[in-house]
Amino acid sequence: MNKSTVSTAQQNYLNRLRAHRFIVWFLRVAILAGFLLLWEYTAAKGIIDSFIFCCPSRIAKCFLEMTRDGSIFLHIGITLYETVVSFALVTLVGILAAVLLWCSRKCSEVLDPYLVVLNSLPKSALAPLLIVWLGANRTTIIVAGMSVAIFGSILSLYTSFTTVDEEKIKLIYTLRGGRFHALTKVVLPSSVPAIISNMKVNIGLCLVGVIIGEFLAARNGLGYLIIYSSQVFKMDWLLMSIVLLCIMAMGLYALIGGLEKIYLKKFS
Amino acid sequence: MESILEFNHINYAYHTLEGETKALSDITFSVANGEFVAIVGPSGCGKSTLLSLICGLHQPESGWIHLNGKPLNDNPTSIGYMLQHDHLFEWRTVYHNVLLGLEIQHKLSNETRQKARKLLDAYGLGAFADSRPSQLSGGMRQRAALVRTLVLDPDILLLDEPFSALDYQTRLTVGDDIGQILRNEKKTAILVTHDLSEAVSLADRIFVLTKRPATLKTCVPVTFDLAADTPMNRRNAPEFKHYFNLLWKELNHDE
């Protein structure tokens, strides 16, 4: 809209909206800054034990040191790699399995209780088993990452496939299409939003699984760094790894959020 | 005139855990080539089931259906089916929605693409070919659905209350529009509706079904003495009221 045509009331509304947004962002940043300052101050004054609680400046220094010798990139890279691979596999296997279940109602009814049980099982319980079966290597970690997300992913994708409007599938049949056409022309395209929101959940879950795997079976990666540093009381390493994990999780989530935005822009 | 569709002693029932619901009982009729038939009856009496049987979506429990003198299996007769809602896919443009049937039947060619464009133009949708369905009005959407059906060049057209989801004014215009289009193209059409005035304004013959299990109660031939036999002219003709009352009485007789 042209600026000169905006009425005073509209301008007031826009101003209020802008003020609201500013306050939200300001408070967000202020909470983080206040928290860090308080932490730094109390640690410096000896109010909290800086050996156990560490402090922001030491975490930052530790990060800078590790970037200088490059070791941190190895850890970040490995965790990122494992997460992305397990995420890609979960997405692929999840969609394929859901399609198979959709194709055969018998199959889906037979397998339903197994999927439900596997989905509600705490997956961290599987990690030691995976180590025995697959060895303490990267495969185990990737499978551990997958195991957390895969069953829930299959179940929710299958549910979204089956809730596609029956009448739209009937339309395909009236156009003399078969079940394959129903899948490719209706079920899959109409499930894209569900698939993307499923991916958003999965990326976080895969990261959880990968960290569990690294706790138990890794020589490097952020999960390994966390376990190792807690054992030798290098709290700056530990806290830095957690901060890095936060940033990584945020970044990966934002990436899929971006994908969703592109899709929505194209199709609405 | 030769008959394109024959129903012979058709019975059909739905089965659920709660039991069996008889939908159609001993239905026999035939439809001539180029004829426009309307089927009216109380709601839930199995009118739509009838169309599903013709389209081969359900199999009759007994009796047989012939299209162009042959059983439904492997029948070369092309059937067009218009559902109650347009079911245009939001992830496709209007043009690509229209091509859906051609894609499924592997009939996409330059020729058929051109035909789709031409039909869209003819029905006032040319400017919206690259729009999303949500940008169209209800009447335009239903016309796009009609183009999706007509582009396959059906020999017989099944209309399953295709106007009932539209508001009253749009329903009149689109109903008249589509009726006119079908009459001009000399298509055989079977219209299922609960709107008696729609049936009278469009059809050559009207079948009246009873409550479930539906039997064929009567068949009312509709003739108007009009120079231009359009749905709108029919609505204004004196015979209109007569047919309407006749159907009304037939439908409410058995209650």
ipTM value, please give it: 0.87
> How many contacts (CB atoms, under 8 Å) link A and B?
48
- Our count of domains for chain A comes to 2
**In this structure, are A35 and A85 located in the same domain?**
no
B59 touches chain A (CB under 8 A): no
**In this structure, are A70 and A42 located in the same domain?**
no
CA–CA distance, A211 with B68 (Å, rounded to integer): 68
Q: What is the pLDDT of residues A172-230, one digit of tens each?
A: 999 988 999 999 999 999 999 999 999 999 999 999 999 999 998 888 899 999 999 99
CATH code at position A129: 1.10.3720.10
A167 touches chain B (CB under 8 A): yes
Q: Which residues contact A182 (CB under 8 A, 6 or more apart)?
A: A169, A172, A173
Q: What is the pLDDT of residues B213-232, one digit of tens each?
A: 888 888 989 888 888 888 88
**In this structure, are A208 and A258 located in the same domain?**
yes
Q: What is the pLDDT of residues B34-61, one digit of tens each?
A: 899 999 988 878 888 899 999 888 889 9
Task: Give the residues across from A123 on adjacent strands.
Answer: none
Q: What is the pLDDT of residues B73-108, one digit of tens each?
A: 878 888 999 988 899 999 999 999 999 999 999 999
Contact: A167, B81; criterion CB under 8 Å: no
Of all residues in chain A, the one with the smallest CA distance to B77 is A176
What's CA B234's distance to the chain center, in Å? 19
| DSSP, residue by residue, B38-81 | EEE-STTSSHHHHHHHHHTSS--SEEEEEETTEESTT----EEE
**Residue B255 clears pLDDT 60, i.e. is over it:** no
CA–CA distance, B7 with B10 (Å, rounded to integer): 6
Contact: B89, A189; criterion CB under 8 Å: yes
**Residue A150 clears pLDDT 80, i.e. is over it:** yes
Give the other-Cβ count within 10 Å of A266's Cβ. 8
pLDDT bin (cut points 50, 70, 90) of residue A1 is very low
Q: Report angle CA B91, B93, B96 to the nearest 5 degrees.
A: 100
Of A171, A177, A267, the CB nearest to B83: A171
**In this structure, are A36 and A111 located in the same domain?**
no
Q: What is the pLDDT of residues A53-108, one digit of tens each?
A: 899 999 999 999 999 998 999 999 999 999 999 999 999 999 999 999 999 989 99
A158, two tokens: 């299958």
What mean pLDDT is reported for chain B?
88
Of all residues in chain A, the one with the smallest CA distance to B98 is A175
**In this structure, are A13 and A139 located in the same domain?**
no
Q: Which residues contact A246 (CB under 8 A, 6 or more apart)?
A: none
* C-alpha pair distances (Å), A234 with each of A21, A48, A71, A124, A242: 40, 17, 16, 25, 13
**In this structure, are A134 and A206 located in the same domain?**
yes
Contact: B104, A185; criterion CB under 8 Å: yes
**Residue A3 clears pLDDT 70, i.e. is over it:** no
A190, two tokens: 């109409």
Q: Which amino acid is at A125?
A: A
**In this structure, are A158 and A240 located in the same domain?**
yes
Task: Give the residues across from B29 on adjacent strands.
Answer: B7
Q: Which residues of B touch A192 (CB under 8 A)?
A: 91
**In this structure, are A30 and A80 located in the same domain?**
no
Q: Which residues contact B56 (CB under 8 A, 6 or more apart)?
A: B72, B73
**Chain A contact probe: residue of B48, B57, B91, B155 with most A CBs at under 10 A:** B91
Q: Which residues of A touch B91 (CB under 8 A)?
A: 189-190, 192, 267
Q: Which residues of A touch B76 (CB under 8 A)?
A: none
Helix, strand, coil % over all residues of chain B, rounded to 5: 40, 25, 35
What residue ranges do the domains of chain B occupy? 83-154
What percent of chain B stands above pLDDT 70? 99
Q: Which residues of A touch B83 (CB under 8 A)?
A: 167, 170-171, 174
State the residue range of the domain holding A159: 58-266
**Residue B254 clears pLDDT 80, i.e. is over it:** no
C-alpha distance from B76 to closest chain A C-alpha (Å): 12
B165 touches chain A (CB under 8 A): no
**In this structure, are A24 and A131 located in the same domain?**
no
Contact: A168, B104; criterion CB under 8 Å: no
Is it true that the peptide bond before B42 is cis, omega within 30 degrees of 0? no
**Chain B contact probe: residue of A174, A183, A185 with most B CBs at under 10 A:** A174
Contact A219, A141 (CB under 8 A): no
**In this structure, are A100 and A25 located in the same domain?**
no
Dihedral (Cα; A231, A237, A238, A240), 10-degree rounding: 180
A265 touches chain B (CB under 8 A): no
What mean pLDDT is reported for chain A?
92
**Residue A25 clears pLDDT 80, i.e. is over it:** yes
A157 touches chain B (CB under 8 A): no
Contact A157, A210 (CB under 8 A): no
| pLDDT number for residue A146 | 95
Which helix or strand (DSSP H or E) is residue B10 part of?
strand B3-16
Q: Which residues of A touch B84 (CB under 8 A)?
A: 167
Which pTM was predicted?
0.84
**In this structure, are A112 and A38 located in the same domain?**
no
Which helix or strand (DSSP H or E) is residue B212 part of?
none
Q: What is the pLDDT of residues A95-128, one digit of tens each?
A: 999 999 999 989 999 999 999 999 999 988 888 8
